[in-house]
Amino acid sequence: MNRDMERYKEFSRRALIIGAGQAAIFAVLAGRLGFLQVVEQEKFQMLSDRNRISMRLVAAGRGEIMDRFGVPLAINTQNFRSFVVPEQTDDVEKTLEKLAHFIPVTEEDKQEVLVQMTRHRRFTPLLVKENLTWDDMARVEMNLPDLPGVSIDEGEIRSYPFGAATSHIIGYVGRVSQSELTDDPVMTLPGFRIGKNGVEKSFDETLRGTAGQVQAEVNVVGREIRELNRADPKKGHRLTLTLDADLQMQCQEMLARERSASAVVMDAHNGEVYALCSHPGFDPNLFSRGIPADVWEELLADDTHPLTNKAVSGQYPPGSTFKMVTSLAALEAGIGPGFKVFCPGYYMLGNHKFHCWKQGGHGYVDAVQALAQSCDCYYYEVGKRIGVDAIAKMARRLGFGDRLGFEIPNEGPGLIPDRAWKQRRRGEAWQQGETLNTAIGQGHVLATPLQLATMTARLVNGGRAVKPLLVRTIEEEGSQLKNWPSLGLDPNHLAIVMRGMNAVVNEARGTAAGARIREEGYSMAGKTGTAQVRAITAAQRAAGVKNEDLPWRQRHHALFVGYGPVENPRYVVSVVVEHGVGGSKAAAPLARDILLATQKRDPQKIHTVDEAIEAAMKEKARIEKTAPGPARPPVKTNKRTSGG
């Protein structure tokens, strides 16, 4: 019996130990369960919600772009689109064939849908066609019972009311390419578009706005069941440009006289750009809607480069339009305005002869007469005296040799050479003959039309370091206008240069005397330029071949810079006619017409929105009714390459 009692006691101790162990384990489990249910409740609720709640982005409306008076330059219009849900039709290809009876669905469209089917779940709506008309949408809606899986919705598409007239400034939008993808998830939305060029690209994030979000309940396979919550997107900011749409269209039409040309109209005092034109242009609406392959190939193959903004990206030898730079550098170096040089039609440097554009020469000329008659020999001599570094220093002060920070992409930097540049670039010493070429805007010198307009503005505004400005205001950020510092130029020197520019146009011996403004109450001054593209050989010259006889792409460029009115300069213009042969015959008349139109329009004054829109629409209608004229025929001009 004692043995039984001992066994019982031993069993009881073991049962107690086991029971205590079980109780401890249960207590741990209960504590853990309580921790998970109470303390970690929010965490696991969130994970659970993620398994049943889908977050969907909603693209924001793109901000509008307006001209200085409120005329719309880029807006959003209705975009009717058709979709197909593969899950809701037994045969997608058959459904697309039926759909093609009611709207224009091409083979490329069908193939794109089939490709998208391999990348998305079957319940995902796939875009079939966009930019449908109201009639297209109505036909599809009426036949939906026979089109299983097809639906119609309304979105937005970017529209450019003035088409080619503003194409190079405003740019265009297009679908996001693989190389353009960023961390922003909105860029992966079907059909989402971003700025590809012009203002649309430079201010893409400002215009794009902030995407909204939709919380939707989904089932285990990800299909949306119902919408739970919505945060509406915030539309992009509106941009107001300094541009005047009416003047822009007038200038663009004037440039259409030529095969390829560009022009900039700018306020000399505050830098506002009123017109910035590059001809030929293109229709940016084609890119919004999807440009046909044949049209794209045609644009790429065009030797006038319609996709290039020549006013900003084009880089040309400035020719004689650069002579104001050399004049100011010489005056600052102590060569007075009365200093005279005799021009027999050539200039000797050692045994090498540098020609003046006027074969018989100009005789004795001083600073004002040299500008008026564009005497190369005068600038050869003063250039030799002051050296290339002094010329380069003045050129950079006037806006050459580097980008100006303009608000649209692909601005050309131009080129201002000096001794250090050549040593750095080529490892060679600078030659004195190169200084002579630089002094007349030839040799290595390159400038954009935008830089030429900036130089002219700085000359006539009293020597302030104005820069071209395109964006006037950004919604919610206010005005972008600036105060410009002084360049420290001597006012007397500027006055001498302006006297010379006035004589170019308004004196009988001036190289642009034939292009003066003759209408009472309006005036202009300026400077002609001719930039050599390819020199005529001695054999061609002996055979009587002139520059205008060469193939178009081998002819000289024609340039003109000017300002008006003469008494109180406000507006400046630069014009470049590619392969236009001579500045006095091709570029100066264009600049005259542009400056006259600008002074009549007077865009610095306030015009009401209604007045501005009415004027712009009338101009647009007039231009559309007028068939474009033929390209300008070759013109006679002087033989030399740096004269007027």
Q: Is the dihedral of CA 200, 201, 202, 205 positive or negative?
A: positive
Q: Distance between CA 585 and CA 233 in Å, rounded?
A: 55
Could you tell me the CA-to-CA distances from 323 to 360, 393, 423, 463 in Å, in that order?
A: 21, 14, 25, 17
Contact status, residue 556 vs residue 528, Cβ threshold 8 Å: no
List of residues 6+ apart from 432 with CB closer than 8 A: 349, 384
In a domain, 44, yes or no: no
Catalytic residue among 202, 260, 320, 327: 320
* Residues 223, 273 share a domain: no
Look at the chain and report how many structural domains it folds into.
3
In a domain, 440, yes or no: yes
* Residues 258, 228 share a domain: no
- Predicted confidence at residue 255, as pLDDT, reads 96
Tokens of 205: 């994030």
- Predicted confidence at residue 48, as pLDDT, reads 52
* Residues 253, 173 share a domain: no
**Ranges under pLDDT 70 in the chain:** 1-11, 13-15, 35-56, 190, 214, 216-228, 476, 478-480, 536, 538, 541-542, 606-611, 623-644
In a domain, 341, yes or no: yes
Tokens of 364: 């004795």
H/E element, 504:
helix 491-506
In a domain, 207, yes or no: yes
In a domain, 11, yes or no: yes
* Residues 551, 499 share a domain: yes
Contact status, residue 83 vs residue 128, Cβ threshold 8 Å: yes
- Predicted confidence at residue 148, as pLDDT, reads 86
- As beta bridge partners, residue 126 has 84
* Residues 145, 266 share a domain: no
The alpha carbons of the chain give a radius of gyration, in whole angstroms, of 35
Q: What is the DSSP string of 49-60?
A: HHHHEEEEEEPP
Q: What's CA 423's distance to the chain center, in Å? A: 34
**Structural domain that includes position 17:** 2-39
Q: Distance between CA 445 and CA 384 in Å, rounded?
A: 16
* Residues 539, 405 share a domain: yes
* DSSP code of residue 303: T
CA nearest to 215, candidates 225, 207, 201, 206: 225
Could you tell me the CA-to-CA distances from 112 to 109, 154, 188, 193, 290 in Å, in that order?
A: 5, 21, 16, 18, 14
* Residues 228, 267 share a domain: no
- As beta bridge partners, residue 158 has 76
* Residues 183, 264 share a domain: no
Choosing from 205, 236, 267, the residue where a domain stops is: 236
| Overall size of the chain counted in residues | 644
pLDDT, one tens digit per residue, over 193-249 is 889 999 999 999 999 888 777 676 655 544 556 666 777 788 889 999 999 999 999
Contact status, residue 348 vs residue 559, Cβ threshold 8 Å: no
φ and ψ at residue 617, rounded to 5 degrees:
-70, -35
- pTM of the predicted model, to two decimals? 0.83
In a domain, 511, yes or no: yes
Contact status, residue 195 vs residue 204, Cβ threshold 8 Å: yes
- Predicted confidence at residue 47, as pLDDT, reads 46
Q: Distance between CA 438 and CA 140 in Å, rounded?
A: 67
Give the CATH number for residue 204.
3.90.1310.10
- Predicted confidence at residue 498, as pLDDT, reads 97
* Residues 253, 210 share a domain: no
Q: Distance between CA 580 and CA 560 in Å, rounded?
A: 11
> E strands, 420-546, where?
471-474, 478-479, 525-531
Whether a cis peptide bond, with omega within 30° of 0, leads into 86 is no
- Predicted confidence at residue 221, as pLDDT, reads 47
* Residues 275, 153 share a domain: no
Give the CATH number for residue 564.
3.40.710.10
* Residues 326, 188 share a domain: no
H/E element, 301:
helix 293-301
- Predicted confidence at residue 567, as pLDDT, reads 93
Tokens of 639: 């033989």
Amino acid found at 640: R
Q: Is the dihedral of CA 363, 365, 369, 370 positive or negative?
A: positive
* Residues 448, 319 share a domain: yes
In a domain, 49, yes or no: no
In a domain, 377, yes or no: yes
φ and ψ at residue 641, rounded to 5 degrees:
-95, -10
Active site includes 12? no
H/E element, 48:
helix 41-52
- Predicted confidence at residue 496, as pLDDT, reads 97
